[in-house]
Amino acid sequence: MDLLVNGIRRSVDAPPDKPLLWVLREDLGLTGTKFGCGIGRCGACTVHLDGLAVPSCMIPLGSVTGLAITTIEFVAGDQRMARVQQAWLDHRVSQCGYCQPGMIMSALGLLGESPQPSMEAAAARLDVLCRCGSYPRVVKALRALLES
């Protein structure tokens, strides 16, 4: 099956019901996208499909034909990414870092939909499970990001 991943056409030999998360990690070696819960609730596996942030663990490979898939590995040059990274650094959000790719992809998806979303919209969209409990720092970083 042919995929458009991070702007590059890639071919994978995997069953159409294999979750996109595992195709990215196992077949394409893009390990920035993390496994968390496997039921689309924790947010660790968030990627963008045609610009929308989605849990890749719940997306079967067969359903992404023709869609642009963007992973954390590709967003370094995105101007929005620079803003998110700076807010995360300024407020020391990351502890262990495991959930951060999902949080960052969710934040970028939110900013892609609305350059100045409300705090309520941001909080609703960034419900990524963080086992370290860095939520207070995430809220501070989001507030700074949305006020800049």
- Which CATH architecture best describes the domain 2-74? Roll (3.10)
- Which CATH architecture best describes the domain 76-147? Orthogonal Bundle (1.10)
pTM of the model: 0.88
- The structural domains of the chain, with segments of one domain joined by +, span 2-74, 76-147
Contacts of 44 (CB under 8 A, 6+ apart): 33, 34, 35, 36, 37, 98, 99, 101, 102, 128, 129
Q: What is the pLDDT of residues 54-109, one digit of tens each?
A: 999 999 999 999 999 999 999 877 777 888 888 888 999 888 878 888 988 988 88
According to the model, what pLDDT value does residue 118 have?
Answer: 81
